[in-house]
A and B are shown apart, each in its own frame.
Chain A
Amino acid sequence: MNNYQLESAATAGIAACFEPQQPVQARMATAAETPVVKTGATKGLATEDPAVLNQSAPAASPLLSHAPVAAASLSEPATQPDAGTTAAAAQLRLKAPSDRWAKAGTLLYPLLFGVLIFILWQSGLLHILLGTDDFTLPAPSRIVRIMIDNSGKIWANVITTLQAALSGLFFGSLLGFLTAFLAMRFPRWGSGGLTLVSAFNAIPIIALAPVITNWTKDVSSEAATRSMVAKILVVTLVCMASMSVNAYRGLTELKPFSLDLMHSYGSGRGAEFIKLRLPNCIPYIFTALKVGVPTSVISAMIAEYFAEFITGVGRQIRENIVLAQYPTAWAYIMTACLMGIILYAILISVETVALRHRR
């Protein structure tokens, strides 16, 4: 059940790496507090209620149970606010004298590595290392030139892929949230549905895409429209699972006793949902989206392979490979990577703004 969160544990970390302006402490806190690294202990330490600590003890990580530290760490009142992760501690130690250097390094090292690869690639050394030639792996300057020369055509393909990916992501997230809501509202029957939705997630896209293309043959007489519908449906199904699982956690894994507090205020289900569950859910929704955005782009491209209408970045990669037009294919591969990265960057900035007032 927690696979989505954990995968994004890393992504949350990456997000943190990309925002060097924020104070280290705050960054690590968000990384630790996201739904992600949900070892009971981090949660327990973040909240300052001793009763809470006792309560979360049985749910704490199993690893704690055979390490003598566990008891100590849990019974200790949470005085250090940043005791979330090892990394936090490590970062903190770094912080004192050479904080600026640590930050600079975060940016500098990957940049240097990238420049190194670029030089190797452009000078042809990479080709010798990999035992390949200039045709299968064109130099970056050539790829960029092809991208500029064909910018109009590439842009048109980007648009169709983005349409499929984003509308699929939208509908998938909506349906996923709805599933999570129903599962929260009607736990007995809903959680069965949730299990089913996540079982769907294990079905490879490769099995879904051709079937759905078959099913949508009658949607429209126009190949472009029905291909688009098929692609959107595929992306919807793929994105649904991570959203439903994450949103369900967001809606149900509330802060201890907050529900009791709401009851003691005499609030109805509506107020409980709007005031407590929904705000609690928002970080989880972003976690789901962090998984969903790259997945939606990739699955839109895979759906294109099986679609009737020949359009989209993914399909162009394939068509060009079939025609042995490797340089053009490379231009589309680059475009696909850029697309994913830009979408992800947008998501991270939206998240930073949306979760600004938390923690």
Chain B
Amino acid sequence: MKQQPKSKIQSKPGFASLTQAKWPVTLVWLIGLILIWELAAFEVAQTKRTPENVLPHLYQIIAAAFSGKKVTNNLTATQVVLINAASTLLRAGQGFVIGVAFGYLLALLMSLSKIVEKIAFPYLMLIQMIPILGMAPIVLSITGDINRSRIVIAAILTFYPIAANCLAGFKAVEPQKHELMYSYGANKFQLYTKTMIPATWPYFFTGLKISAPLAITASILVDTLQGGGGLGSMLSQSLKHAMSVYVFWLIIFFVAFIGMFSFYLMGVLEAWLCPYRKWEKGGNEA
């Protein structure tokens, strides 16, 4: 959260170092959450016949991750998760890249042409409303391949936040900048390469941060629809007790971690590619 000058006036001097000492606060919150989880796990262990289905202790989950016990097909739980994660994440990544490319292209077209913008804007909105899983069989019948349909769906989900954010970025360029470029006698190409496109980068990265977890969710969701590998189908198999329930917990934690990590990764990418945005660094940690 960006520290506003006025809130410094308001807060007491002792609290002025809010931004510097931020991580211990987050750490305390995290420890608090772990404590709550463990307390609840103790309670569940006392009252339930199969506590690991509802809420296992965290150390049990960690132990399951490192145990060499074979869960299925001569694979340990961790191997199952990682092998399936590789295929799911690969598809999510491919879809993500395609979606980003198309989303940015559409935003560019919309900013170049008023007519394209008017045509595409309401429909961009509609895409957001369509349930992803609903599209899976249709995409499947069109592409004729499960893997390809996963990629397409991840791409469609990625597409909206990127297009919407980049369009907002194109629109946020001040008219004075346009006037300046005009007075320099810049042509349309120069206007875009020198002013408009650099102006969209912050918005572009915001879009990336929203859509990266979305692409992963999409890929996993499509997995649950059809069998044949992937984190999603492992998730539903272990939920139906086809294999150890700890696989379920491992997948949950892995997915949660990957979701947050992908968000963080986009932030790192932004800091690397747009170092001049350092000033806003405080605003990026969420």
Q: Which residues of A contact B (CB under 8 A)?
A: 1-3, 6-7, 9-11, 13-14, 17-18, 36-37, 39, 41-42, 55, 59, 61-63, 65-69, 72-73, 76, 83, 85-90, 105-106, 109-110, 112-114, 130-133, 136-137, 187-189, 191-196, 198-199, 202-207, 210-211, 214-215, 217, 245, 248, 252-254, 256-257, 259-260, 294, 297-298, 301-302, 305-306, 313-314, 317-318, 321, 326, 329, 332-333, 336-337, 340-341, 344
**B114-148 vs A, Cβ < 8 Å mask (1 yes, 0 no):** 11001101111110111111111110011000000
Q: Which residues in B have some Cβ–Cβ distance to A below 8 Å? A: 1-2, 4-7, 9-11, 15, 18, 22, 25-26, 28-30, 33, 53-55, 114-115, 118-119, 121-126, 128-138, 141-142, 161, 163-165, 167-168, 170-178, 180, 195, 198-199, 202-203, 206-207, 209-210, 213, 216-217, 220-221, 224-225, 232, 235, 239, 248, 251-252, 255-256, 259-260, 262-263, 276-277, 279-280, 283-286
- CB pair A136 B137 closer than 8 Å: yes
CA of A130 to CA of B144 in the docked complex: distance in angstroms? 11
* Docked pose: A61 CA to B198 CA in angstroms: 12
Question: Is the Cβ of B276 less than 8 Å from the Cβ of A62?
Answer: yes
With contacts A9-B168, A132-B142 known, is A113 near B129, CB below 8 A? Answer: no
Query: Would you give 28 A-B contacts (Cβ < 8 Å), ordered by A?
Result: A3-B206, A6-B207, A10-B124, A13-B171, A39-B174, A63-B198, A66-B276, A73-B176, A76-B176, A86-B172, A87-B171, A88-B175, A90-B114, A110-B123, A130-B142, A187-B11, A187-B15, A187-B18, A189-B28, A191-B22, A192-B28, A204-B256, A254-B6, A259-B10, A298-B132, A313-B131, A332-B134, A340-B128
Q: What are the 6 A-B residue pairs with the smallest beta carbon separation, nearest first?
A: A10-B164, A192-B25, A340-B129, A9-B168, A198-B286, A204-B217
B202 / chain A contacts, CB cutoff of 8 Å: 61-63
The docked-state distance in angstroms from the alpha carbon of A52 to that of B165 is 28
- CB contact between B7 and one of A7, A187, A318 (< 8 Å): that residue: A187
Instruction: Answer whether A207 and B174 are a contact pair too, CB < 8 Å, given A188-B18, A337-B126.
Output: no
Name the residue on B nearest A341 (C-beta): B129
Q: Which B residues are in CB contact (< 8 Å) with A294?
A: 128-129
Are A204 and B220 in touch, CB under 8 angstroms?
A: yes
The reply to whether A136 and B168 contact each other, CB–CB distance below 8 Å, is no
**Contacts A6-B207, A9-B168, A10-B164 given; 19 further ones with Cβ under 8 A?**
A1-B284, A6-B203, A7-B210, A10-B124, A10-B165, A17-B122, A55-B5, A63-B198, A89-B175, A110-B119, A110-B121, A194-B286, A202-B259, A202-B260, A203-B213, A206-B224, A298-B131, A326-B138, A329-B134
* Contact call A193/B29, Cβ cutoff below 8 A: yes
Count A/B pairs, Cβ under 8 Å. Answer: 267
CB atoms of B252 and A207 under 8 A apart: yes
Closest to A117 in B: B123
Bound-complex Cα distance A110 to B126 (A) = 12
Between A9, A68, A89, A326, the greatest number of chain B beta carbons within 10 A of the residue's beta carbon is seen for A9
A37: which B residues are within 8 A, CB to CB? Answer: 168, 171-172
Residue in A7, A37, A294, A306 with the greatest tally of chain B CB atoms within 10 Å? A7
A41 touches B174 (CB 8 A): yes
- Docked complex Cα distance between A76 and B179 (Å): 14
Complex CA distance for A205 and B235, rounded to whole angstroms: 13
Which of A114, A192, A203 is the one whose CB lies under 8 Å from B259?
A203
A345 to B158, CA, bound (A): 24
Q: Which residues of A contact B279 (CB under 8 A)?
A: 62
Given contacts A199-B286, A206-B221, contact A42 B248 (CB under 8 A): no
Nearest-Cβ distance from residue A328 to partner chain B, whole angstroms = 12
Q: Which residues on the B side are within 8 Å of A207 (C-beta)?
A: 251-252, 255-256, 259
Is the Cβ of A302 less than 8 Å from the Cβ of B165? no
Q: Using Cβ atoms and an 8 Å threshold, which residues of chain B touch A318? A: 133, 225
Whether A13 lies near B121 (C-beta < 8 A) is yes
The residue that B131 contacts in the complex, of A76, A198, A211, A314, with Cβ under 8 A, is A314
Task: Give chain B residues whose Cβ lies under 8 Å from the Cβ of A199.
Answer: 260, 286
Q: Which of B29, B118, B168 contacts A109 (CB under 8 A)? A: B118
Candidates A3, A63, A196, A203; contact of B210 at CB < 8 Å: A3
Please, which residues of chain B bring their CB within 8 A of the CB of A195? 22, 26, 29, 285-286
Provide the residues of chain A in CB contact with B18, threshold 8 Å: 187-188, 191
Are A192 and B26 interface neighbours, CB within 8 A? Answer: yes
**CA distance in complex: A170, B46 (Å):** 34
Establish whether residues B168 and A83, one from each chain, have CB atoms under 8 Å apart when the complex forms: no
Min Cβ gap A335→B in Å is 10
